[in-house]
């Protein structure tokens, strides 16, 4: 009598370097490859529109890979605790395996593991989606790091990340498990005009991720020292692929170490330290599961951020503030579901400091529109810009978008690309005075008593 293994795919939509799948194959029983669309469990943050667009395509790609191995993706929707338990009894599963996640949803995984093990089901979780699991990197006093540099130094001082696992060549499938239809989930946006151009820029799925890494290592990495210049292709654009786990950080780590070209080699350490920022922010989310709703520094709960109507945010959403670098960034986001890191910092600073709008409203817009919207990186970075996060930029450091543009887009190529009407009569006047609004932000900061806020 077979005792199938369920492999529960989550933020790891790949078949290579997939420890849970690897274990299931070694177990030797037929495999149910499950993706569960859970928008009901309280610990799950419902996906934004761009993430749904991506997920739809990534699931199609995963299903294709699984079919090539003789299996297929089984789709189910509903709250994880109930839906997984029901599937386990439906297929008579003897085991279930998944790769670990580290945000609020780990409470679901803990409950399920205990519940299933109590029923005699062999439930296993695996280390897959980070290089270093959060509880393994602590200070001498066994506390979580609050500052990136010592955190990353500590990561690098131990054993290097393990080698990626091999890609399976065949999967023993369970016959006749019913699957929902992907189209029923309506992941595709209702209003196609903003999403129409996303596919010009991205190929969701494991092949797209590997192609992206390959191209970056071949040409982009040698330019990575210019990663702050939004007008050139100097960064990897791997963020949505990492977010959905179409490639693992172990694969990125080891392939990056294999480059031989001297200009590229010179940037390996810097590039991997950005992967380190991803690790750090996941670590922060592990410590603060409510990262998208609560200031890490509670003193900022008193800060007089405004919570205006959507209509007041429209110029920022649409890239019509009259500040060229801000508008170019917001247009890049609308057109591609992505924004260059330097410009993310500038647009976010403009919202939370010059416009004095609560970071959560900006975070929500990015959450909806970014293809790489990530439950750790997005709120973690917003809190970093707003000054209320871990190892954050100090509140009194206000990015000046004009100075930033002169410095990082000196020939205007980025602004011209996303803002064709820049410099014509069609381009709007600025919605605010940069100097005056900076002063207002700093006074608000002083009024909330500077000292506890900087601590």
Give the binding site for ligand FAD (CB under 6 A).
Answer: 227, 235-239, 242-243, 274-275, 277-278, 281, 341, 344-345, 348, 366, 370, 372-374, 377-378, 381-382, 385
Closest CA to 152 of 391, 341, 395: 391
Task: For residue 5, give the 3-state DSSP assignment.
Answer: strand
Reported as half-sphere exposure (CB side, CA atoms, 13 A), residue 298 has a value of 1
How far is the C-alpha of 133 from the C-alpha of 129, rounded, in Å?
A: 9
Residue appearing with tokens 């508008």: 327
Residues in the chain: 455
Nearer to ligand FAD among residue 188 and residue 233 (C-beta): 233
Nearer to ligand FAD among residue 81 and residue 353 (C-beta): 353
Q: How far is the CB of 364 from ligand FAD (least distance, A)?
A: 12
Nearer to ligand FAD among residue 65 and residue 236 (C-beta): 236
Q: Is 245 left (phi over 0), alpha (psi -120 to 50) or beta?
A: left
CA distances from 196 to 200, 201, 334, 338 (A): 8, 10, 10, 14
Closest CA to 231 of 370, 408, 420: 408
DSSP for 140-198?
A: TTS---SSHHHHHHHHHHSPPPPPPPPPPS---BPTT-----GGGG--S-SSHHHHTTH
Q: Which residues pair with 50 in a beta bridge?
A: none
How far is the C-alpha of 421 from the C-alpha of 415, rounded, in Å?
A: 10
- Residue 320's CB: how many other CB atoms inside 10 A? 16
Q: How far is the CB of 168 from ligand FAD (least distance, A)?
A: 26
Read off the tokens for 352.
């939370």
Task: For residue 34, give the 3-state DSSP assignment.
Answer: strand
What angle is formed at CA 240 by the lines to CA 22 and CA 385, rounded to 5 degrees?
125
- Residue 51's CB: how many other CB atoms inside 10 A? 25
Nearer to ligand FAD among residue 57 and residue 344 (C-beta): 344
How far is the C-alpha of 37 from the C-alpha of 10, rounded, in Å?
A: 9
Read off the tokens for 43.
């610990």
Q: Is 332 left (phi over 0), alpha (psi -120 to 50) or beta?
A: alpha
């Amino acid at each position: 009598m077979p005792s199938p293994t369920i492999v529960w795919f989550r933020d790891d939509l790949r078949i290579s370097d997939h420890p849970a799948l690897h274990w299931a194959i070694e177990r030797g029983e037929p495999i149910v490859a499950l993706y569960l669309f859970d928008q009901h469990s309280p610990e799950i943050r419902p996906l934004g529109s761009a993430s749904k667009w991506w997920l739809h395509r990534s699931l199609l790609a995963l299903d294709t890979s699984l079919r090539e191995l003789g299996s297929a993706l089984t789709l189910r929707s509903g709250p994880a605790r109930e839906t997984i338990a029901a599937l386990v009894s439906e297929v008579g599963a003897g085991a279930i395996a998944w790769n670990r996640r580290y945000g609020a949803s780990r409470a679901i995984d803990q409950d399920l593991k205990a519940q299933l093990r109590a029923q005699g089901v062999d439930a296993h979780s695996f280390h897959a989606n980070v290089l270093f699991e959060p509880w393994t990197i602590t200070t001498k006093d066994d506390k979580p790091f609050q500052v990136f540099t010592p955190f990353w130094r500590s990561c690098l001082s131990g054993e290097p990340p393990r080698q990626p696992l091999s890609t399976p060549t065949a999967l023993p499938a369970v016959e006749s498990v019913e699957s929902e239809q992907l189209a029923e989930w309506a992941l595709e946006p209702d209003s196609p005009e903003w999403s129409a151009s996303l596919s010009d820029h991205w190929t969701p799925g494991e092949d797209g991720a590997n192609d992206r890494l390959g191209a970056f290592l071949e040409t982009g990495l040698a330019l990575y020292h210019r990663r702050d210049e939004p007008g050139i292709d100097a960064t990897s654009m791997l963020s949505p692929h990492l977010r959905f786990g179409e490639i693992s950080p172990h694969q990125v780590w080891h392939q990056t170490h294999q480059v031989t070209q001297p200009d590229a080699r010179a940037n390996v350490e810097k590039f991997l330290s950005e992967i380190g920022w991803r690790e750090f922010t996941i670590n922060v989310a592990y410590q603060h599961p409510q990262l998208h709703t609560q200031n890490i520094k509670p003193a900022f709960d008193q800060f007089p951020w405004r919570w205006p109507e959507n209509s007041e945010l429209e110029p920022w959403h649409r890239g019509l503030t009259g500040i060229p670098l801000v508008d170019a960034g917001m247009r890049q986001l609308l057109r591609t579901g992505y924004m260059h890191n330097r410009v993310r910092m500038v647009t976010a600073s403009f919202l939370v400091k010059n416009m004095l709008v609560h970071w959560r409203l900006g975070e929500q817009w990015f959450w909806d529109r970014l293809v790489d919207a990530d439950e750790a990186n997005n709120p973690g970075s917003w809190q970093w810009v707003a000054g209320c996060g871990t190892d954050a930029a100090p509140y009194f450091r206000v990015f000046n978008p004009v100075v930033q543009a002169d410095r990082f887009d000196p020939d205007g190529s980025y602004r011209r690309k996303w803002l064709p009407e820049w410099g014509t009569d069609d381009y709007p006047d600025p919605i605010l005075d940069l100097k005056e609004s900076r002063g207002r932000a700093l006074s608000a900061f002083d009024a909330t008593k500077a000292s506890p806020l900087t601590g």
